[in-house]
Amino acid sequence: MNMPLRFVKHERLWLRQSPEFSEAWLHERICQDTSILGLGELDIIGRERVQYGAGRLDMLLADSENNIRYEVEVMLGATDPNHIVRCIEYWDIERRRFPAYDHVAVLVAEEVTSRFLNVMGLLAGSIPMVAIQLSALRIEDRVVLDFVRVLDQRALREDDTVESVVATADRNMWQERVGEEMMRICDRIAEIANEVAEPKLELKYQKRHLGLCPHGSFFNAAALFPKKASLGMRMAIRDSDEWLKRLEESGVQVSSRRPGSITVRVRPVDLPKQEPILRELIQQAVEQFQE
């Protein structure tokens, strides 16, 4: 028989102000179980990793399955400019040294300030970064560490400025390539997106894909890859793991190159039964894009 849950009042504990805790202690807790960061079960590549001419990186963690490395800086107290700069600097050094991996800068702090979030908002699309706010809670004689993602810029918007200049196309070219039926499906995707989009989105015809974007913009809410037999559609989406599971259970062909981004492939014959879940997916991606 399950025991009933009982309410226990907690007390917020600031690690920076508590002499029994330190950054080294926090490092140990994370390394004992990297999943507490909320980024999955990550391998530890290194701790206090020397960055030549630039200090030491607190932790280098890896998602080997998805070929991603996380440059992690941990600090007690509130985010400050020095830690932010170091975090970005170490991320840049590692990605230049090991370009075969996708790299993500991760900053963990007890307080992620609004100023930090504003600055990172200006850099959106340039630096894949995750900010995690740590809350230490005292419950009776125990301490609970609660890690919450307050910023997740792992899925960068793709800038197709160069392609828009040298590889533009038109609807006639695409219609000859994939057929009228597939182009009607692309139009239907745009209609679904525009049920929630403001400003409205339009199809932008490129040589290799169709971008779904605001008029005059180089940033895509989604990229469409029509073929004669099926349509591929790639977009940035939060909770991508949850979406992968839902889409697979609904019979949608789906894949993910990295967290925060998914690609679905739809055949014309399957669209009527798959449209409800695809509508939900597309509209969430559009709302996220226009935040």
Residues contacting 88, CB < 8 A, separation 6+? 105, 127, 129
CATH class name, domain 11-152: alpha beta
Tell me, what's the pLDDT at 160? 41
Whole-angstrom distance, CA of residue 190 vs CA of residue 193? 5
Tell me, what's the pLDDT at 124? 60
Blockwise average pLDDT, block size 10, the chain, 291 residues: 78 84 88 90 86 84 82 89 87 89 90 82 76 89 88 61 53 91 94 93 88 84 89 89 90 83 90 93 91 78
Domains of the chain, residue spans:
11-152, 161-289
CATH number corresponding to 161-289: 3.90.1150.20
Residues contacting 207, CB < 8 A, separation 6+? 163, 167, 168, 169
Tell me, what's the pLDDT at 163? 43
Question: 87-142 pLDDT, tens per residue?
Answer: 899 999 999 888 888 899 999 998 888 888 887 777 766 788 899 999 888 888 88
Tell me, what's the pLDDT at 179? 92
Q: Dig out the tokens for 210 from the structure.
A: 């169709």
Tell me, what's the pLDDT at 106? 94
Q: Dig out the tokens for 59 from the structure.
A: 């932790």
Tell me, what's the pLDDT at 65? 62
Whole-angstrom distance, CA of residue 10 vs CA of residue 146? 12
Tell me, what's the pLDDT at 172? 92
Q: DSSP string of the chain?
A: -PPPP-----EEE-GGG-TT--HHHHHHHHHH-GGGGSS-S-EEEEEEEEETTTEEEEEEEEETTTTEEEEEEE-SSB--HHHHHHHHHHHHHHHHH-TTSEEEEEEEESB--HHHHHHHHHTTTTS-EEEEEEEEEEETTEEEEEEEEEEE--SPPPB-HHHHHHSB--HHHHHHHH-HHHHHHHHHHHHHHHTT-SS-EEEEEBSS-EEEEETT-SB-SEEEEE-SS-EEEEEE-SSHHHHHHHHHHTT-EEEEEETTEEEEEE-TTTHHHHHHHHHHHHHHHHHHHT-
Tell me, what's the pLDDT at 125? 63
Question: 248-261 pLDDT, tens per residue?
Answer: 999 999 888 777 88
Tell me, what's the pLDDT at 161? 36
